[in-house]
Structure formats: C-alpha cells, structure tokens
Amino acid sequence: MLKFINYDIVFQEIPGETTLAINLSNCPNRCKGCHSPYLMEDKGVILDENILTALLGKYGQAITCVCFMGGDAAPEEVQRLAIFTRKTTHGRLKTAWYSGKQDFPAQCSPLNFDYVKLGPYIEGLGGLDSPKTNQRLYFIENGKMTDISYNFRKKAMNI
C-alpha cells in the first residue's frame, strides 16, 4: 500500500516535462541529509486508482508526466500505478519514478516507466545537479535505459 503526503506540478524533476510529482511516504532508505525527511514517516492518504484518477482528471491536460517520488517500500505498487496511468491515459502521459535504491528492483520492469531516477542521496556527493553525484536519471526507450543525468548539470552551470 502506498501513501502520499502531497503533490505538486513541477518543471525540474524530469527534463522537458510538466510533471505531476506525487510525494510518497514511508521511505525506507533513511538517507543522511535527506531534503524531505518527513517522507520517512508512514503517514498520509492511501494512493490508489481512485485518487490517481481524480488527480489525473484535475491536471490531465496541463501535465505530460506523472512522477512517483519514492515508494521504495512497495515497488510493485509504484509499478502497478504507473501501468494504470499509461492505460488510463492511453499512453499520453509519461511515467517516472524517483527511487532512492541503487538498483532497479528485480521484481519490476523498467519497461513500465519512461524515466527512472536511481541512487540514494549521499550528502557528500549531492543530488542530480552535482558533478560528483552517485544518482542517475535514466530515459527508457525500447527497453534501453539511457543516462540523461547530464541535463541537470547543464542547468546548474547556466545559473
């Protein structure tokens, strides 16, 4: 079961996409220096097909992507809702998952996502905009995962 704390429309999490980012709680990773430690708690509203359908109805034409921020405690549920999103929107919306795990879960398939961010936050290495980061954002197309993390470093250098 997935629970979410909040959501927002964001423009920086997935390059080139207007993204509905849903912040999932009960994060098991406990990364030191986490920017959202409140997501470590098991609280919030259950995220199911009905809630997701309501969110898609509210923002459907304004967004191009749905990103599940977290959900590492229930990866099969994240995958199930990503599949539901694609099916419900007839593939119009892309799906993304920000995972704090180092590797993609064996019980899931990257084919069910268009983007996946992997890697725990390591305070000394920074996030995706840091040239030292261990985190990677992948674009998935035809079963191939292509690292597109460089997009974040380009943006950081232009600021």
Predicted local distance difference test score (pLDDT) of residue 154: 65
DSSP 8-state symbol, 69: E
Helix (H) or strand (E) holding 83: helix 75-88
Please state, in angstroms and rounded to a whole number, the distance separating the CA atoms of residues 61 and 83.
Answer: 19
Q: Look at residue 158 and tell me whether its pLDDT is greater than 80.
A: no
| Pairing mode, strands 19-24 and 65-69 | parallel
- The b-or-e profile of 118-130 (16+ CB within 10 A means b, else e) is bbbbbeeebbbbb
Whether the CB-CB separation of 116 and 81 falls below 8 Å is answered with: no
Q: Which pLDDT tens digit goes with each residue over 11-68?
A: 999 999 999 999 999 999 998 888 898 999 999 999 999 999 999 999 989 999 999 9
Predicted local distance difference test score (pLDDT) of residue 34: 87
| pTM, rounded to two decimals | 0.94
Q: Which pLDDT tens digit goes with each residue over 91-140?
A: 999 999 999 999 999 999 999 999 999 999 999 999 999 999 999 999 99
Give Cβ neighbours of residue 142 (< 8 Å, ≥ 6 apart). Answer: none
Q: Is 64 helix (H, G, I), strand (E, B) or coil?
A: coil
User: Among 153, 146, 70, 84, which Cα is nearest to 115's?
Assistant: 146
Please state, in angstroms and rounded to a whole number, the distance separating the CA atoms of residues 40 and 25.
Answer: 6
DSSP string, 103-136: S--TTS-GGG-SEEEE----TTT-STTSTT---E
Choice between 143 and 22, residue whose per-residue pLDDT is larger: 22
Q: Look at residue 156 and tell me whether its pLDDT is greater than 60.
A: no
Rounded to 10 deg, the angle between the 75-88 and 49-59 helix axes is 50
